[in-house]
């Protein structure tokens, strides 16, 4: 049985991983008989957001502890990731991912990627293994790997223009669409970068897993 790694960024769209994307990804992996192990940074998240009001809250939470809520506690620190143990690497999205595992939501195109996450991406890529990324995280993959083909959905969105400006290539697609860079084994899907329902997110996740698993 194949086994993949999934890197989470907390729990909740505004300050962690988007829960719908994370859960539908894990479900799609399970339905494809693919084992998974989740990881997350063992450090405080950028901030805590009240998901009703959208306002920051005066408290601190740990990214890995929060991500553990999604996977019933079965999570490891991302610094323990070893590319040799896995057949692929996946990233659900969420605005919180762009705060906790890379800093686009804070720093714009001057963003940096968590050093352990960056190492995981580079290591799995160096071993010729596929990467699947959802929602906002293809932007991070483009930054780390350079000249790759990815999607954020709509060609007219700001992030699409930024991807092209950094030397990668943005490809437009709709709900359920997956853009596959076969040469680099990078597969991306837009999810909530587009107007989407839960059904759309599940279709994105299923199709992403289908595309990545074809590279095993």
Please identify which of the residues 11, 38, 135, 191 carries the catalytic annotation: 135
Distance CA 81, CA 68 (A): 16
Nearest of 136, 111, 132, 133 to residue 193 by alpha carbon = 136
Catalytic site includes residue 135: yes
Phi, psi (deg, nearest 5) at residue 203? -65, -40
Cα separation, 105 vs 107, whole angstroms: 6
Q: Are 113 and 41 contacting, i.e. CB atoms less than 8 angstroms apart? A: no
- State residue 148 phi and psi, 5-degree precision: -125, 165
- Quick one: which of 196, 186, 172 has its CA closest to 143? 186
Token output for 63 = 């990214």
Give me the sign of the Cα torsion angle 142, 132, 191, 41: negative
Q: What is the DSSP pairing of strand 35-40 with strand 75-77?
A: parallel
Question: Residue 199 corresponds to which tokens in the numbers above?
Answer: 């059904």
- By annotation, the residues acting in catalysis are 135
């Amino acid at each position: 049985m194949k086994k993949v790694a999934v890197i989470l960024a907390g729990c909740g769209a505004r300050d962690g991983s988007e829960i719908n994307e994370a859960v539908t990804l894990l479900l799609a992996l399970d339905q494809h008989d693919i084992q998974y192990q989740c990881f997350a940074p063992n450090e405080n998240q950028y901030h805590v957001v009240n998901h009703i009001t959208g306002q920051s809250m005066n408290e601190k939470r740990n990214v890995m502890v929060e991500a553990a809520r999604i996977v019933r506690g079965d999570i490891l620190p991302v610094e323990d990731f070893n590319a040799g143990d896995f057949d692929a690497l996946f990233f659900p999205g969420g605005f919180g991912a762009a705060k906790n595992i890379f800093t686009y939501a804070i720093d714009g195109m001057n963003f940096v990627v968590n050093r352990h996450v960056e190492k995981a991406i580079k290591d799995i890529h160096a071993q010729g293994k596929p990467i699947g990324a959802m929602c906002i995280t293809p932007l991070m993959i483009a930054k780390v790997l350079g000249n790759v083909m990815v999607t954020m959905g709509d060609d007219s969105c700001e992030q699409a223009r930024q991807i092209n400006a950094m030397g990668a290539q943005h490809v437009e697609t709709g709900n359920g669409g997956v853009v596959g860079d076969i040469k680099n084994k990078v597969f991306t899907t837009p999810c909530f970068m587009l107007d989407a329902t839960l059904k759309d997110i599940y279709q994105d996740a299923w199709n992403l897993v289908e595309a990545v698993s074809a590279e095993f």
